[in-house]
Amino acid sequence: MTLSLTDIITIEEFQRLKSLNNAVALSDLLKRLFLNILLVWIMLQSSQFDYLLMLFFWYLYSFQFQFWGYVGLGHEALHGRIFSSKKANEVLYFICSALTWNNGAMFRDTHLLHHRSIFSVEDTEAESETRWSIWDIIGYILIDIRALFRRIYYTLINSLGFYPNFVSLNNKYKFSARITLLLNIFVYAFFYTITQNITVTLLLLIAPFSNSLAVKILAKAQHHGLDKFKDRGPLKFSRTLELPIWLRFLYANMNYHAEHHFSPVIPYYKLPKLHNLLKNKGLVNSQSLFEFLFSSKKNF
């Protein structure tokens, strides 16, 4: 028998813990937007006199942009536990999905299955990224050409109403792919129109597929090597990591992954409180990212 949160705290405490805070959510979103705008502005300015400086800030931009996807804010928007408005969460989710070239409708189905039946045959998330050859790692550090062509190709094929093997696609998946395609065309065409800077436009276009090593490792750390605990509850089959505050912010506190699986209704900005509660009761352990990498290096 596994514990639930109401076995540990009162209903009133649980209600307070799962309550949403629009002010905090909006503040966090504005901070992310400001960081994006600042880095893009610096790229545009430096492109006029120093391409190496431009590429440096593009690399920083690519790093933080990865966390708009499903290893970060996009994942939290899917769960609908950011803003109190369901519509606001849905719009944010589909924007995050589209700008990282993902099919939001598909991921919604696979991720909810992941929460229902972790480590099942149908669960494609628990083991996460499995390609860790030296060439794959170089691609994650620089530009993941395979992911670039795969995601854009899948988006095109899905938008026409087909899977890659040309079997007919569910209408909701087709609609989601069309949103992804049209939003990206609009965003990058608009950006080029107002800046007339083709270099920066192309760099922004490939950013979702660049400097992705960190998110690959973090995704791997969520459940890697914990399948033997799949019947012992989320505090055992999920991993909590100790990360610096700036990385926790980008990662939307998903380093508290055991806590998230333990109670997915808790918004990301309250997961540290849940972590402390569980830690004080001796119910959850954490490890550093270095400890995870060192203990798992033979199994990557």
Residues shown for the chain = 300
If one counts every other C-beta atom within 10 angstroms of the C-beta of residue 139, the result is 21
Q: What is the pLDDT of residue 300?
A: 67
Environment class of residue 268 by beta-carbon count within 10 Å: exposed (0-12), middle (13-18) or buried (19+)? buried
Per residue in 240-287, pLDDT tens? 999 999 999 999 999 999 999 999 999 999 999 999 999 999 999 999
- The amino acid that residue 107 corresponds to is F
Check pLDDT > 60 for residue 67. yes
Q: What is the pLDDT of residue 6?
A: 81
Q: Write the DSSP string, the chain.
A: ----GGGTS-HHHHHHHH---HHHHHHHHHHHHHHHHHHHHHHHHHTTT-HHHHHHHHHHHHHHHGGGTTTTHHHHHHHT-SSS-HHHHHHHHHHHHHHTT--HHHHHHHHHHHHHSTTSTT--STT-----SHHHHHHHHSB-HHHHHHHHHHHHHHHTTB-TT--B--HHHHHHHHHHHHHHHHHHHHHHHHH--HHHHHHHHHGGGBS-HHHHHHHHHTTTT-GGGTTS-HHHHS-EEE--HHHHHHTTTTTBHHHHHH-TTS-GGGHHHHHHHHHHTT---EEEHHHHHHHHGGG-
pTM comes to 0.95
Check pLDDT > 70 for residue 121. yes
Q: What is the pLDDT of residue 58?
A: 98
**Hey, where are the domains in the chain?**
5-211
> Rounded CA gap, 147 and 128, in Å?
14
Per residue in 205-253, pLDDT tens? 999 999 999 999 999 999 999 999 999 999 999 999 999 999 999 999 9
Check pLDDT > 60 for residue 1. no
